[in-house]
């Protein structure tokens, strides 16, 4: 197994651990696990490029691992009342639409490459920063204004990237 795929699998394995820590109110451990998962996201892409170990498996698994980690985190934080539910709904809806779009392309035998756009990467990074800020804020509640700014920045980028992927998918069908 390549190092990039190892880090992607590690991110998948860290998500249930994050969930357990969060549900049991071990927020410091949950923050550490989420931070580690975020680092694996940066590492897998960097190593794939640096070591020339890009693979089709990694190209498919990486965004799935991201979506599982981020969706789980947004649901947990919304369920706990730490982020507005509308933000979790928007993030989850975008991810579901992207996955459904990819499924439709596959079912209609439209060839496509699983490659995130720059806006999609920026959206993922902003979502990670937002979750991390909220997890830190649960323990040290001094980030109220930053949190609010991150909520709306995440909302805007999530909607913009969702629209971009929708338009790109629509063009592929034509």
What is the mean pLDDT of the segment spanning 155-174? 94
Tell me the pTM.
0.94
What is the mean pLDDT of the segment spanning 19-36? 98
The runs of H, that is alpha helices, within the chain are 3-23, 27-50, 56-79, 85-107, 118-139, 144-173
What is the reported pLDDT for 128?
A: 97
Q: Binning pLDDT at 50, 70 and 90, where does residue 144 land?
A: confident
Residue 52 has pLDDT above 90, yes or no: no
User: Would you kindly state where each structural domain of the chain is located, as residue ranges?
Assistant: 3-173
Q: Binning pLDDT at 50, 70 and 90, where does residue 55 land?
A: confident
Topology (CATH) of 3-173: 1.20.120
The per-residue pLDDT of the chain, averaged, comes to 94
Q: Binning pLDDT at 50, 70 and 90, where does residue 156 land?
A: very high
What is the reported pLDDT for 173?
A: 83
What is the reported pLDDT for 86?
A: 98
Exposure string over 44-79, b if 16+ CB within 10 A, otherwise e: bbebbeeeeeeeeebeebbbebbbebbbbbbbbbbe
Per the model's pLDDT, the better-predicted residue between 42 and 21 turns out to be: 21
Using CA atoms, how far apart are residues 30 and 32, in angstroms rounded to an integer?
A: 5
What is the reported pLDDT for 53?
A: 87
Taking each helix axis as running N to C, give the angle between helix 56-79 and helix 118-139, from 0 to 180 degrees, rounded to the nearest 10: 40
> Computed from CA positions of residues 160, 13, 25, 28, in that sequence, does the dihedral angle turn out positive or negative?
negative
Weakest-pLDDT range from 6-20, 84-98, 105-119: 105-119
Residue 114 has pLDDT above 80, yes or no: no
């Amino acid at each position: 197994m390549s190092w990039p795929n190892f880090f992607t699998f590690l991110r998948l394995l860290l998500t249930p651990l994050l969930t357990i820590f969060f549900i049991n109110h071990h927020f410091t451990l949950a923050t550490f696990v989420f931070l580690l998962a975020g680092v694996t996201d940066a590492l897998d892409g960097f190593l794939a490029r640096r070591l020339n170990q890009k693979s089709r498996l990694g190209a498919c698994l990486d965004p799935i691992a991201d979506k599982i980690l981020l969706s789980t985190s947004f649901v947990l934080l919304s369920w706990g009342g730490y982020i507005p539910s509308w933000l979790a709904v928007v993030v989850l809806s975008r991810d579901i639409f992207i996955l459904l779009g990819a499924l439709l392309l596959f079912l209609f035998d439209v060839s496509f490459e699983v490659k995130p756009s720059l806006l999609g990467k920026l959206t993922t990074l902003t979502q990670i920063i937002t979750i991390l800020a909220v997890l830190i804020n649960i323990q040290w509640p001094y980030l109220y204004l930053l949190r609010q700014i991150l909520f709306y920045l995440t909302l805007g980028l999530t909607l913009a990237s969702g629209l971009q992927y929708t338009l790109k998918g629509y063009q592929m069908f034509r």
